């Protein structure tokens, strides 16, 4: 028989005591192995390896499975929220269990949570209910861009959404360069502005968006535009675009996320100038 740690490793790092007993471990042996430090008891009837990641451990201690923002961050999907709370799926009828330093966000959504971590599709459905349409849309496009969502997965997610929200999947694209671009495109879509996305302009390169054939919109995330050398590159691109008759508007993370009315006003004013 495999050791308890080897068995848990093959089971993904966590298992119920009942499952381990079915594999030949007695309650007494499990108690002894816990005392030896080979495995840990996270809550009554649930055992894990000592190196199980902290957020999954917290979710199990809370009585459910990791979900929503917590799973998306784990999968390196772009999320709008800057909250560091652990999001836990408890199911519709379960109650959170007391545990040390609890600051969890409980999700009482239908279905039966797995032991450990919810799948990506479930986490995406949960983030819409938890944080709204924009958070869902940006995360969905990010996951699609990273190749994490097959056609079948996208269809299942769409079916799991309420009918009133399925349009979000229908307008989503796989080529959004960042979550900021997703937010900007969604917000402009809602006020009836059509954008051409990821447009290659000779002498300039690929720009995020072009509106009306002459207005370039760039959504500058910190990871691609911080630093003097990158800023210099942006300025050279903008100058090249100006020589070709384009106007370029650049907006950073803080503007798009926290000061959208000013961003929208600037875009509308630029479009009005172009028309006149």
In a shared domain, residues 165 and 270: no
183 shares a domain with 150: no
Q: How far is Cα 230 from Cα 197, in angstroms, rounded to an integer? A: 22
166 and 211 inside one domain: no
The Cα-based distances of 6 to 33, 37, 116 in angstroms read 12, 14, 18
Residue range 195-221: mean pLDDT, rounded:
90
Task: Please tell me the total count of domains within the chain.
Answer: 3
**Rounded to an integer, what distance in angstroms lies between the CA atom of residue 273 and that of residue 253?**
25
Same domain assignment for residues 202 and 276: yes
Contacts of 130 (CB under 8 A, 6+ apart): 68, 69, 87, 105, 107
Q: Find all residues with CB under 8 Å of 163, minimum gap 6, and list them.
A: none
Structure confidence at residue 268 as a pLDDT band (50, 70, 90): very high
180 has a pLDDT exceeding 80: yes
Are residues 229 and 213 in contact, defined by beta-carbon separation less than 8 angstroms? no
Same-domain check for residues 47 and 86 = no
Share above pLDDT 70 across residues of the chain, in percent, rounded to a whole number: 96
Residue 78 and residue 142 in one domain: yes
Average pLDDT of the chain? 92
For residue range 213-241, list pLDDT tens digits in order: 899 999 987 555 454 556 788 888 889 88
Q: What average pLDDT does this structure show over 98-120?
A: 93
Q: Work out the average pLDDT over 50-74.
A: 96
What residues make up the domain containing 10? 1-52
Paired tokens of 28: 């007494």
Mean per-residue pLDDT, 242-270 = 94
The CATH number covering residue 252 comes to 3.40.960.10
Distance CA 95, CA 103 (A): 15
Is 188 found in the same domain as 99? Answer: no
């Amino acid at each position: 028989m495999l050791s308890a740690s080897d068995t848990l490793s093959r089971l993904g790092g966590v298992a119920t005591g009942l499952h381990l007993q079915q594999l030949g471990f007695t309650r007494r042996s499990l108690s002894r192995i816990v005392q030896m430090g080979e495995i840990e008891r996270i809550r009554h009837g649930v055992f894990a390896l000592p190196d199980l990641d902290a957020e999954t451990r917290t979710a199990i201690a809370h009585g459910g499975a990791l979900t929503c923002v917590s799973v998306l961050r784990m999968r390196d999907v772009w999320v709008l929220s800057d909250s560091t709370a652990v999001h836990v799926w408890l199911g519709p009828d379960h109650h959170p269990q007391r545990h040390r330093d609890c600051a969890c966000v409980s999700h009482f959504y239908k279905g039966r949570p797995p032991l450990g971590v919810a799948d990506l599709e479930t986490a995406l459905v949960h983030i819409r209910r938890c944080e709204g349409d924009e958070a869902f849309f940006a995360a969905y496009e990010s996951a699609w861009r990273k190749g994490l969502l097959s056609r079948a997965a996208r269809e299942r997610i769409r079916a799991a959404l309420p009918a009133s929200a399925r349009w979000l999947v229908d307008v989503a694209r796989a080529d959004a360069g960042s979550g900021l671009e997703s937010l900007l495109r969604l917000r402009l879509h809602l006020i009836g502005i059509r954008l051409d996305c990821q447009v290659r302009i000779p002498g300039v390169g690929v720009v995020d968006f072009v509106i009306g054939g002459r207005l370039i919109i760039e959504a500058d995330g910190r990871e691609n535009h911080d630093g003097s050398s990158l800023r210099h590159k942006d300025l050279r691109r903008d100058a090249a675009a100006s020589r070709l008759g384009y106007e370029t508007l650049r907006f950073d993370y803080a503007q798009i996320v926290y000061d959208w009315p000013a961003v929208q006003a600037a875009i509308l004013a630029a479009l009005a100038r172009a028309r006149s």
